Amino acid sequence: MDYSFTTKTPFANFGVRMQDDMVVALHYVDDKLSIAPSNPIDKTIAKQIQAYSHNSAAPLNLPIRLEGTPFQQKVWRALQKIPVGKVLTYGALAERLSTSARAVGNACRRNPVLLVVPCHRVVAVSGIGGFAGQTGGKWVQMKRRLLAHEGIRYR
């Protein structure tokens, strides 16, 4: 994927893809990738991501465009309503949306704008659950780090 710029945080290096001054993708990228923000909007977005990475109460009011199916967008809007420092289980969110936990998990897996659409705040009933389509390894460790940053400790 072609990124407009990257911004390195204590959690990860993030690649940001912009389209018409809107964030359309915010992903974890290789630490070696470095693309400087080139305009005032990009710089403002990078500053907000940096601010959140140092203080979870810092708002992420990024201009985003969510591209996905109507169902995915419904899940992503619901995820944005989960406050910092709180979690929901896949099942609880599914119940709110009259769907299945698996469908919620699949929509989370396809989240194009990490952090802003906080899929890390959705956990399994029996533990932390998966992250970015993975059930172990560096992605689940990242989910743990993000939750800990927001004051939530998970085993």
- The residues annotated with a catalytic role in the active site are 119
CA pair distance 60, 67, nearest whole angstrom = 19
Q: Is 15 exposed, middle or buried (0-12, 13-18, 19+ CB in 10 A)?
A: buried
> DSSP letter string over 31-72?
TT------SHHHHHHHHHHHHHHH-TTS-----B---S-HHH
SS percent in the chain: helix, strand, coil, step 5: 40, 20, 45
Q: Which two tokens stand for residue 50?
A: 């940096």
Q: Which residues contact 153 (CB under 8 A, 6 or more apart)?
A: 147
CA pair distance 127, 135, nearest whole angstrom = 11
